[in-house]
């Protein structure tokens, strides 16, 4: 009987602890949402990103035309109710191509940023945690990649591999991992000298447990902010490669290739290049504003 009562008491305590954790998460979510709503620039970035994601998901339902179908009866037609953003040199609807371009750009940017983080974060964590010759080797390798501008290095890699979505992602991942490694290394070097890390070491906790329970949770905020801001940068790099002809290849509706197509006819058909350019500007602005807002939310010391 006593064992049954003890089991019930333990279950009640466990349930109470779970409820406290859920309440704490709800309060954190409400506080974060309040900070987003209270800052007009952060809210603007949040809305832009939400709209961009929604457009990317529902492009087949929203787009009035197939983005790759030629219409020789409406070549270089200006914006009208039938074609909101006009048509290009082959009579394709620019509005539909811009909508589908959001899918391509977000897909490449999100996968590239995840790959960059997947390469750079473990290396930065290893370098900052263990130090010594391991730290020196990883950081010297990172210095080699950081010696080249990201766009130039991505250009060289993409030109070597050839065009295509997969090769663009590889080029962005290889060109961008070093900054993440160096950033996380700096964060880890700061954290590892905190009193609670030393207390965990004295108590006999293994390094794997310290990394999992102490270092990684405290490194999450700066990494999330960096990744959100780099989404916009990845979209810009993807468009740059497409504009130069070594990124996503035609006829895939990608914003950079669309601007390249409209470059030669800009004086006669300004809309072919202008609307994809505005889409790139909006996406980069949205992710940058959202990243700044996340920094203020996750790092109270950065608030003004």
Where do the structural domains in the chain lie, given as residue ranges?
39-302
DSSP annotation of 98: H
- Can you tell me the distance from the alpha carbon of 304 to that of 300, in angstroms, rounded to the nearest whole number? 9
In terms of average pLDDT, the best of 66-80, 202-216, 286-300 is 66-80
Number of helices and strands (H, E) in the chain?
Answer: 11, 0
- Give which of 250, 257, 181, 254 is closest to 219, Cα–Cα: 181
Does residue 300 carry a pLDDT above 80?
no
Whole-number average pLDDT of the chain: 82
Over residues 47-64, mean pLDDT: 91
Q: Is the separation of the CB atoms in 102 and 56 below 8 Å? A: yes
CA 276, distance to chain mean position in Å, is 19
Considering the domain 39-302 in this protein, what is its CATH number?
1.10.3720.10
Does residue 6 carry a pLDDT above 60?
no
- Condensed to tens digits (0 to 9), the pLDDT of residues 214-237 reads 777 777 778 888 888 889 899 999
pLDDT band, very low/low/confident/very high, at 52 (cuts 50, 70, 90): very high
- Can you tell me the distance from the alpha carbon of 279 to that of 274, in angstroms, rounded to the nearest whole number? 9
Per-residue b or e along 117-132, where b marks 16 or more CB atoms closer than 10 Å to that residue's CB: bebbbebbbbbbbeee
pLDDT (0 to 100) of residue 114:
92
DSSP annotation of 67: T
Q: Is the separation of the CB atoms in 45 and 293 below 8 Å? A: yes
Over residues 157-176, mean pLDDT: 88
Token code pair at residue 207: 């390094």
Q: Is the separation of the CB atoms in 139 and 185 below 8 Å? A: yes
Provide the whole-model pTM: 0.83
- Condensed to tens digits (0 to 9), the pLDDT of residues 108-136 reads 999 999 999 889 888 888 888 877 888 88
Q: Is the separation of the CB atoms in 88 and 251 below 8 Å? A: no
């Amino acid at each position: 009987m006593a064992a049954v009562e003890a089991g019930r008491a333990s279950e009640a305590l466990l349930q109470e602890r779970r409820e406290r954790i859920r309440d704490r998460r709800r309060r954190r979510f409400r506080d974060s949402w309040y900070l987003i709503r209270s800052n007009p620039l952060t809210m603007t970035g949040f809305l832009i990103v939400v709209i961009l994601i929604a457009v990317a998901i529902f492009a087949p339902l929203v787009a009035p035309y197939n983005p790759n179908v030629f219409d020789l009866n409406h070549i270089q037609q200006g914006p009208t109710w039938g074609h909101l953003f006009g048509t290009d040199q082959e009579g394709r609807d620019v509005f539909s191509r811009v909508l589908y371009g959001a899918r391509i750009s977000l897909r490449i940017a999100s996968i590239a940023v995840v790959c960059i983080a997947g390469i750079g974060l473990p290396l930065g964590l290893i370098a900052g945690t263990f130090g010594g010759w391991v730290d020196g080797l990883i950081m010297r390798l990172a210095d080699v990649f950081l010696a080249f501008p990201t766009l130039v290095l991505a250009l060289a890699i993409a030109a070597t591999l050839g065009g295509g979505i997969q090769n663009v992602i590889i080029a962005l991942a290889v060109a961008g991992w070093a900054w993440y490694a160096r950033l996380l290394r700096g964060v880890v070097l700061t954290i590892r000298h905190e009193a609670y890390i030393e207390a965990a070491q004295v108590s006999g906790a293994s390094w794997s447990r310290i990394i999992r329970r102490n270092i990684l949770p405290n490194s999450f905020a700066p990494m999330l902010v960096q990744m959100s801001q780099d989404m916009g940068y990845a979209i810009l790099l993807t468009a740059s490669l497409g504009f130069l002809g070594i990124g996503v290849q035609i006829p895939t509706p990608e914003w950079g290739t669309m601007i390249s197509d409209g470059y030669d006819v800009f004086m006669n058909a300004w809309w072919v290049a202008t609307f994809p350019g505005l889409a790139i500007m909006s996406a980069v602005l949205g992710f940058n504003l959202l990243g700044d807002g996340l920094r203020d939310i996750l790092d109270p010391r950065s608030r003004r």
